[in-house]
Structure 1
């Protein structure tokens, strides 16, 4: 079942034409990696798919909703409910505990405090962080911080998680652990991921790889997973 569809996306910043007519689909429960050199347009594409930026032309549908037809306030609400984000830099708030950092998007969405906290505890336990609930980010390792960020991305039970270089600040062992975690979340939650990465070895753990070159989608490869 197609969850995400992008059609003929173009994006320009002044005279710089970054995306040049990209179309793609992502199915529910699929892990798709986007590869390409720096400046190829990977992050720009991800930000548009996540509604953080608007295309110069083209359309994006998530669960059949033409997202850029929504008003700014409706789009912000839609994004918070349906899309989770994981970035290279974790963007955890240093004054809050791991549990509180994970809860914040749920509280913003207006859910009951205890419901959000229960779900956050469950997610952090799933991440192997059950004994780190009340640690602030400074007391967590880089890998632990990134797993907190993944739990935060999942707190509103989004349809789609977008990850922009999520292993960029991790060593190879922690990077592999994170990609294996994505696989487990796919199995347990039927979670859908689109991941921008430079790491070709880790991208091969995905269901599909999309290669972007000079703002165009030039190839994609299906991979049979062995995990």
Structure 2
């Protein structure tokens, strides 16, 4: 479903990615691990269209993403990709429901339809009674579940997660591990997860290790 061929990336004189080839199958959970500075987050951002490579190609369902215009890439990202980050990136002034709705509203879907879907997702993720709360009124684990619901709102084919348990305590991290497995079963979406968490990596279908900008 997702494929990278010969991906290189430099920042100034620093060569971060040195010819990455990989593929992610439909519904697959893949963990990307490696030491700090190996290029994990850079690779995740390029795979997720948040950054572009200097050379190489990214394909989604056999469509070459780099051949699309910026407007087309933004549309593809909104409709087919989801994102979960370490620090949640929730809008402080919006309720949990409103935060989940944002990608749907940006995609100009029906406001009523999107809100109903957001409430449904929050209920599925165990936050039925927390939808009207602001992020500051939620625990770290609850905030991360809101972020997961937001990533799911447009029914993406693939979700990219950058250190999703990095800001959680042990119990909440374990809960999130189990949640990701449940989501894969319920929504049939793939996950690409950058993590230093050994337990999270071990629950993946496959582990890709990066070192010095290369797959090892």
> Could you tell me the TM-score, scaled by structure 1's length?
0.94
Superposed CA deviations along residues 11-46 of structure 1, whole A, max 9, x for unmatched, are: 011110000011000000110000011100000000
Query: Of residues 119, 122, 132 in structure 1, which corresponds to 2:120?
Result: 122
Residue 180, structure 1, aligned to residue 175, structure 2: no
Unaligned runs of 5+ in 1: 219-227
SS in 1 for 2:133: coil
- Using the alignment, how far apart are the partners of 1:176 and 1:61 within structure 2? 32
- Using the alignment, how far apart are the partners of 2:135 and 2:115 within structure 1? 18
Deviation at 1:63, TM superposition (A): 1.4
RMSD, matched Cα: 0.6
Deviation at 1:131, TM superposition (A): 0.6
Residue 149, structure 1, aligned to residue 116, structure 2: no
SS in 2 for 1:60: strand
- Using the alignment, how far apart are the partners of 1:99 and 1:12 within structure 2? 39
Select the structure with the greater relative contact order (CA < 8 A; seq sep ≥ 6). Answer: 2
Deviation at 1:173, TM superposition (A): 1.0
Residue 64, structure 1, aligned to residue 62, structure 2: yes
Matched length: 216
Unaligned runs of 5+ in 2: none
Deviation at 1:65, TM superposition (A): 1.4
Residue 201, structure 1, aligned to residue 195, structure 2: no
* Structure 1 consecutive aligned stretches of length 4 or more whose deviation exceeds 6 Å: none
- Using the alignment, how far apart are the partners of 1:93 and 1:22 within structure 2? 34
